[in-house]
Amino acid sequence: MDRTIKIGDRTVNRLGYGAMRITGEGIWGPPPDHDVAIAVLKRAVELGTNFIDTADAYGPEVSENLIREALYPYDGLVIATKGGLLRDGPGLWRPDGRPAHIREACDASLRRLGVDQIVLYQFHRPDPEVSFTDSVKTFFELQQEGKVKHVGLSNVTVDQLKHAMELGAIVSVQNNYSVLNREHEPVLRACEQNGIAFIPYFPIGGNTGGLSEQVIDGIARTHGATTRQIGLAWLLQHSPVMLPIPGTGSLEHLEENMEAGDIVLTEDEIERLDELAG
């Protein structure tokens, strides 16, 4: 199993870090312990992570600010962020795909991160009130202007991915996907066919129960691992374009997540996990 993957012209390790949960409750406001959040970011890099995923909406702004404080000048790191999603309060999200907003969001992320160019800038979520074409074209315009190196998408369908690829080069797709949630399997396969990195969020994907719980727990016991670690190990072995970004605000959980990269599932275990998809 390859331990690295290409994001455009950058090579990164296949276990990244998602920096959403270093904010407050409801992904709103500052973290409960600022020093712990900084320590988690630094420890993620010490453990081999060189792909950090964030967004202007996380906090909002909090996650990007913490990343700059902890990791600038990002030597050897790929800092990926997103634009196109607004916040109305804890747990409240609202898409805004207007070209003007995307431009403002990009400029603000550049300032917060302290960079002249965002290595990977992702469209956070299509906006049903705005032309998908107009939104995506704006990302490619920012790329042409040198503010963005590579363009990615998030929360898209196969048709949206194909359309975006007609407008320019897409290097990544970030969708909800896990051993228990295969809704976006067709998107993953489209990414495989086109050499696009697939970044799954929510690595377990909901509450286990019944047979699913028995299977995952049994495999976890065999490896002396947690169910979350098994979910991450399965993702890594399920597809060569997979780039999981488990997120946590806990040093203990961070260490646990990173250890998942050393778990090798047997063919029988993979087959049993594959069968859990409904």
- Report the C-alpha gap between 225 and 260 in whole angstroms: 8
Q: Which amino acid is at 171?
A: V
> How far, in Å, CA of 170 to CA of 123, rounded?
11
Q: In sequence order, what are the residues at sequence separation of 6 or more whose Cβ sits closer than 8 angstroms to the Cβ of residue 224?
A: none
d(CA 203, CA 186): 17
In the set 17, 58, 177, 201, the catalytic residue is: 58
Q: Which of 51, 54, 61 is nearest to 28 (CA)?
A: 61
Mark whether 201 is an active-site residue: no
Separation of alpha carbons 277 and 140, rounded Å: 36
Q: How much of the chain is in helix, strand and coil states, percent to nearest 5?
A: 40, 20, 35
DSSP-based three-state secondary structure for 33: coil
Residue entry with tokens 């990544």? 172
Residues annotated catalytic, as ranges: 58
